[in-house]
Amino acid sequence: MNEPQGRPAVQDDRRRRFELLALPHLDAAYNLARWLAGNSADAEDVLQDAYLRAFRYFDAFRGGSDIRVWLLSIVRNTFLSWVKENRSNRLVFIPDDRGADATEPAETMWGETPRDPEALMLQSADAGMLNRLVEDLPTEYREVLLLREVEEMSYRDISAVVGVPIGTVMSRLARSRAMLRHRWHTQSAKEASHGV
């Protein structure tokens, strides 16, 4: 009789502990899933499955390692499994249609001079081009770039998430930056020659 009453309390404590530790990293997990999947709908599917897996195996997390690294590893592995089940051997990345809201400027703080519309348009165009160029990078380069530059993870943590040695992480990061820089200059020159 005591066991059935104790069991729900243990499950509640486990659920609360999971929420306390895992939910603060939901944005980072979504960002990784979004960049890997290439669109929001697939990223949400991957993320939901990843968090279900993380909760299911939460007892395996001993707290010795960083939960963010543990969760992002699960997101990455869930994505790889999801790709095998839902896509052919080649990955197809479809960018989101962000609509009109993506180009609207953020509210300025009190006292700041609003930026002129031309500057906002150029900034928006640059951000859009950068997103397209990052999406065009091969997956193994895109993921290390995202984890380092957006999520600000250490090489050691990226190594744990991606499952490759630190040297490989550093090499992929250098290559992804070089590819991105080359593609940026090529695209900018192409747009300049066409008067865009």
pLDDT digits (tens, 9 = 90+) for 175-192: 998 988 888 888 878 877
Name the phi and psi angles at 93, rounded to 5: -110, 120
pLDDT value at residue 190: 80
pLDDT, greater one: 107 or 28: 28
Q: How confident is the model at residue 166 (pLDDT cuts 50, 70, 90)?
A: very high
Note whether 33 and 72 are within 8 A (CB): no
pLDDT value at residue 187: 80
DSSP assignment of 58-111: GGG--SSS-HHHHHHHHHHHHHHHHHHHHS-SS---------GGGGSPPPPPTT
Q: How confident is the model at residue 165 (pLDDT cuts 50, 70, 90)?
A: very high
Question: For residue range 80-123, what is the model confidence (pLDDT) as tens digits?
Answer: 888 888 764 444 443 334 344 444 444 433 334 445 555 555 55
Element (H, E) at 135: helix 117-135
Q: How confident is the model at residue 13 (pLDDT cuts 50, 70, 90)?
A: confident
Mean pLDDT of all residues belonging to the chain: 77
CA–CA gap between residue 76 and residue 176 (Å, rounded): 18
Residue ranges and CATH numbers for the domains of the chain are 2-86 (1.10.1740.10), 117-193 (1.10.10.10)
Angle formed at CA 84 by CA 160 and CA 71, multiple of 5 degrees = 30
Q: Side chain identity at 150, as an amino acid letter?
A: V
Q: Side chain identity at 102, as an amino acid letter?
A: A
Percent of the chain with pLDDT over 90: 24
Give the burial class of 46: count Cβ atoms within 10 A of its Cβ; 0-12 exposed, 13-18 middle, 19 or more buried.
Answer: buried
pLDDT value at residue 158: 92
